[in-house]
Amino acid sequence: MTSKRKRFVALVAATAALALVVTGCASKTETGGTDGGATEATVVKIGIGAPLTQGAVALGKGMERGANLAISQANEDPAVVDLGIKFESVSGDDQGDPKTGVTVANQFASDSKLVGVMGHLNSGVSIPASKVYNQNSIVMVSPASTNPALTQQGLDNVFRVCTIDSVQGPSAADSAFKDLGFTSAFVVDDSTPYGTGLADEFAKQFEADGGKMLGREKTGDKDSDFNALVTKIKSLSPAVVYYGGIYNSGALLSKQLSDAGVTAPLMGGDGMYDGEYVKLAGDAAAEGDFCTSIGYPIDQLPKGADFKAAFEAAYPGDAIAAYDAYSFDATNVIIDAVKKVAADLGADKVTSPEGKTAIIAAVAATNMDGVSGAVAFDANGDTTNKVITLYTVKAGAWTAYVK
């Protein structure tokens, strides 16, 4: 009896431990080019911090794809081989959760060969993680976190290649009021720093433009039932419903609005710019919805075609998500800085404290011609490239809106 019970307790403990390993920790996948050089190359690691199992997974996986593409290209670059460096990527799954994000950040920081982090996606994760990187002199380049607060903390190691919400939100409001002719709006957010920030900026500008705000509501980022809210929205008949949040819940809101017979389209930010949105909401509900996303559409960029070709060769069958190109650029920003520091100080110094500080300075001085356009940073670490594109769902896919 007791031995049986003991055995069972052990089994339960083992199950719990297994579950903890699965949920709590970063999954590590290491990729890198083949080591062709005769001499031992110095391994330089770049962390990829993104939601890979929970949260906005479709976008997070895209970040991983973009970063790994940049790294494998760099390892084939003769200049990198000559410098005696070999890049490796380490993926950390932040699950779109601030606490898990900090755990991932600490894991990255404990790796002495890791000099930079490409990430994170969610502003709510990036902000606490950035403090960990700052304490460890690790440069952080986010391809996707758009909350203005991220770069206003006075941390010299924090950069981003995407435009911020104080540009995106007002741009969306201007599009809604001026280009699309929506005179009234109901604004909803998902209570995350990203969603709240974006919705606030939208609301402010929409009212300044002369639009009428019919309501402002908060929901949870894991909510699935919006029917009560939908009924409220229906009774107010806004011309547009603005949602600050990620595609998972945004799609459900759009579906429930449509099911209830609300004809006003749903509009959102870059967190909704993914094919998953249309799949989850259903073609009928998503059709005619709007979102803004950062930068120009991929096929309008000078380097877009090259990127698309390389992407399709590396990931046959995958579609390019919102941040693949930005993650590619963000990773290249770190790679370029490492190359510069390796040339100045020598490859063996790159992972030293001195090297890491030099990398941060080199990133700050970036002047790169990336896939998303010219990449350079202002004093805060924000990109100087402030382009926002309006998209709409047409025939079941996000397409750049043409008036």
Q: Who contacts 147 (Cβ-Cβ below 8 Å, separation ≥6)?
A: 123, 124, 126, 127, 164, 165, 193, 194, 197, 198
Q: Which is nearer to another protein, 68 or 248 (CB)?
A: 248
Q: Which is nearer to another protein, 254 or 385 (CB)?
A: 254
Q: How far is the CB of 163 from another protein (least distance, A)?
A: 24
> Which of 243, 209, 221, 166 has the alpha carbon at shortest distance from 51?
221
Q: How far is the CB of 386 from another protein (least distance, A)?
A: 26
What residue ranges bind another protein (CB under 8 A)? 4-5, 8-9, 12, 15-16, 18-20, 22-23, 52-54, 57-58, 180-181, 183-184, 188, 191, 217-220, 222-229, 231-232, 234-239, 248, 251-252, 255-265, 276, 279-285, 287-289, 392
Q: Who contacts 102 (Cβ-Cβ below 8 Å, separation ≥6)?
A: 128, 129, 132
Q: Which is nearer to another protein, 180 or 361 (CB)?
A: 180
Is there a contact between 119 and 63 (Cβ–Cβ < 8 Å)?
yes
Report how far residue 109's alpha carbon sits from residue 99's, in angstroms, rounded to the nearest whole number. 15
Q: How far is the CB of 361 from another protein (least distance, A)?
A: 38
Q: How far is the CB of 51 from another protein (least distance, A)?
A: 9
Q: Which is nearer to another protein, 117 or 233 (CB)?
A: 233
Strands 367-370 and 290-294: unpaired
Q: Which is nearer to another protein, 217 or 299 (CB)?
A: 217
Q: How far is the CB of 8 from another protein (least distance, A)?
A: 4
Report how far residue 273's alpha carbon sits from residue 322's, in angstroms, rounded to the nearest whole number. 6
Is there a contact between 26 and 47 (Cβ–Cβ < 8 Å)?
no
Q: How far is the CB of 233 from another protein (least distance, A)?
A: 10
φ/ψ region of 387 (left if φ > 0, alpha if ψ in -120 to 50, else beta) reads beta
